[in-house]
Amino acid sequence: MITNTKKSQKKNILSLEDVSISYGTFEAVKNVFCNFKRGDITSLIGPSGCGKSTVLRALNRMNDLIPNCSLKGTVLFDGTNIYDKRVDPVEVRRRIGMVFQQPNPFPKSIYENIAFGARINGFIGDMDQLVESSLRKAAVWSECKDKLNDSGYSLSGGQQQRLCIARTIAIEPEIILMDEPCSALDPISTLKIEETMHELKKNYTIIIVTHNMQQALRVSDMTAFFNAVEYEDGDGGKVGYLAEFDSTKKIFNSPKEKTTQEYISGKFG
């Protein structure tokens, strides 16, 4: 699963250059430099409040939806700064899809859940086929095929989450962002989602936020460890920063930073 040999040939698909994100006057993350490579699965790990979810949401401009959230720096996607004033965030989100922490299917049928995104993206072609292939890729086809017209809510939590993944795949994004996709799920569903991710890796770049270090170790090629430090002025607030970014193997076996070592061995978090 760890493909260091190919790494050198892979191209950067997404680069963060000196990114700082604030909510109002409160700075959540600062000075992040990071390159995500095409075809990799990258995990973002770190203690609560280190800003890893904030960084993830910044990658497809979901932070725009949070009032007062502002970003400094550059996020380059295929050579374009997605925070450029001329960029349409809707177009960004079509090419960088997102799967959320809580399964959030639409209150529509399973079929419509998949078809909705494709339709608004101007999909012309065999919708039945697209629904089937998306559900297959998300490894939920066998559970859904006999009840495509049932509500998305009729599925179990794990199935709903895979339905949400299928929904994201159906718009054929280049990158799939996942914000702790398994935190609300049982171990068996988690395992299935991880298998799904391995399948998806062939066609998509995946960036995943996870609290579960074993999961990061199991699924990802690269791991970014975020940490939080108290402000220098010492008023008790914390600001997140990217502490270490390397191949998953190195992060877990021979981390350079002492805090990384402490975090992965469970000394804090």
Partner 1 sequence: MNSLYYQKKLSRNVGDKFFTSLSVFCAFIAILPLIFVVTYILIKGGAQINSDLFTLEPNPPGDDLDAGGINPALIGTLIITTIASIIAIPVGVGGGIYLAEYSKGGPFSKFIRFGVNVLAGVPSIIAGVFIYALIVSTKILFGSMYSGFAGGMALSILMLPTVIKTTDEGLKLVPNELRYASLGIGASMYTTILKITLPSAFRSIATGVVLGIARAAGETAPLIFTALFSYYYIVGFEDLFYEMGSLAVLIYNFALEPYDAQNKLAWAASFILVISILSVNIFSRILAAFTEKTKRV
Binding site for partner 1 (CB under 8 A): 60, 62, 65, 67, 90-91, 93-95, 97-100, 102, 104-107, 116-117, 120-121, 151, 153, 164, 167-168, 170-171, 173
Query: Is the Cβ of residue 63 or residue 223 nearer to partner 1 in the bound state?
Result: 63
Cα distances (Å, whole numbers) of residue 258 to 169, 204, 268, 269:
38, 33, 12, 14
User: How are beta strands 26-37 and 12-23 bridged, if at all?
Assistant: antiparallel
Query: Is the Cβ of residue 100 or residue 241 nearer to partner 1 in the bound state?
Result: 100
Query: Is the Cβ of residue 150 or residue 230 nearer to partner 1 in the bound state?
Result: 150
DSSP assignment letter at 7: H
Query: Is the Cβ of residue 44 or residue 171 nearer to partner 1 in the bound state?
Result: 171
Rounded least distance, CB 61 to partner 1, Å: 9
Rounded least distance, CB 134 to partner 1, Å: 11
User: How are beta strands 238-247 and 222-230 bridged, if at all?
Assistant: antiparallel
Rounded least distance, CB 121 to partner 1, Å: 6
Query: Is the Cβ of residue 168 or residue 190 nearer to partner 1 in the bound state?
Result: 168
- What's the token pair of residue 4? 């260091």
Rounded least distance, CB 90 to partner 1, Å: 5
Q: How many CB atoms lie within 10 A of CB 245?
A: 20
Phi, psi angle pair for 230, to nearest 5°:
-70, 150
Identify the CA nearest to 225 among candidates 254, 250, 252, 245. Answer: 245
Q: How many CB atoms lie within 10 A of CB 32?
A: 23
Rounded least distance, CB 182 to partner 1, Å: 16
Query: Is the Cβ of residue 144 or residue 170 nearer to partner 1 in the bound state?
Result: 170
Rounded least distance, CB 208 to partner 1, Å: 15
Q: How many CB atoms lie within 10 A of CB 136?
A: 16
Collect all residues with Cβ–Cβ distance below 8 Å to 145 and sequence separation of at least 6: 132, 135
Query: Is the Cβ of residue 52 or residue 57 nearer to partner 1 in the bound state?
Result: 57
HEC secondary structure over 118-172? HHHCCCCCCHHHHHHHHHHHCCCHHHHCCCCCCEHHHCCHHHHHHHHHHHHHHCC
User: How are beta strands 96-99 and 205-209 bridged, if at all?
Assistant: unpaired
Rounded least distance, CB 203 to partner 1, Å: 17
